[in-house]
């Protein structure tokens, strides 16, 4: 069982790392807020990108909760400006983002550059629509496992799955394991970048 002490040892690993968070209305609140806080506590600078300006409405399952302020419009964002990408879930959020050409192009460029991507819950829908999941081992919310398999992914019912530059997770209850693996992956990437 992980203790607060082992979590604390991860602090500072991501100093100077720029992480894009891609989301829109209907995002699952905990899947945006909790990983974002963990990334920032580890030293990363996060930027919330959305297809619209202003605020996006977060959900807790099917209930509206808080709103998050958008830091930058997705249309103007450049993948080259970021070191990593976090894709929180929420069915409404993921379903809307997968239809945004700018979102599909953004994740393609991040992935083709070999930058790390962290994805949870329904968020893999965007990766499916961007034609990126074939041959990948990953997990997701259980209701979209057929979507992933049909797109050529190897789906696993595990709290967290790491495959190359990707980390995937199933649902809010998996966030502690997800955060640990995300910070580990992002930290390895940042260390390699600084060593290069």
Contact 183, 39 (CB under 8 A): yes
Of the residues 61, 112, 122, 142, which is catalytic? 122
Clarify whether 142 is annotated catalytic. no
- Listed in sequence order, the DSSP H helices in 81-159 are 91-97, 101-112, 124-129, 145-150
Torsions phi, psi for 84 (to 5 deg): -160, 165
Say how far apart CA 118 and CA 125 lie, in whole Å: 13
Give DSSP secondary structure letters for 18-72: EEEEE--TTEEHHHHHHHHHHHHHTT-EEEEEESSSSEEEEEETTEEEEEEE--E
- Beta-carbon neighbour count of residue 159 at 10 Å? 16
What does the buried/exposed string (b/e) look like for 131-149 if buried means 16 or more CB atoms within 10 Å of the residue's CB?
ebbeebbbbbbeebbebbe
Query: Which tokens hold the place of 90?
Result: 């929420």
Q: Which residues are catalytic?
A: 122
């Amino acid at each position: 069982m992980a203790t607060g002490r082992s979590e604390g040892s991860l602090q500072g690993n991501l100093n100077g790392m720029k992480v894009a968070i891609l989301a829109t209305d209907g995002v699952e609140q905990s899947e945006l807020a909790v990983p974002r806080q963990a990334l920032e506590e580890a030293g990363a600078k996060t930027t919330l990108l959305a297809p619209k300006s202003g605020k996006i409405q977060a959900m807790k399952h099917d209930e509206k909760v808080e709103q998050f302020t958008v830091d930058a419009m997705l249309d103007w964002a450049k993948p080259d400006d970021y070191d990593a990408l976090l894709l929180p879930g929420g069915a409404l959020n993921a379903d809307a983002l997968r239809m945004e050409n700018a979102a599909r192009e953004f994740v393609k460029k991040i992935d083709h550059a070999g930058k790390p991507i962290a994805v949870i819950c329904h968020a893999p829908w965007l990766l499916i629509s961007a034609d990126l999941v074939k041959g990948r081992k990953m997990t997701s919310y259980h209701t979209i496992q057929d979507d992933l398999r049909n797109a050529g992914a190897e789906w696993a019912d595990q709290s967290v799955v790491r495959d190359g530059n990707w980390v995937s997770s199933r649902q809010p209850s998996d966030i502690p394991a997800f955060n640990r693996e995300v910070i580990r992956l992002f930290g390895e990437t940042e260390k390699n970048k600084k060593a290069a």
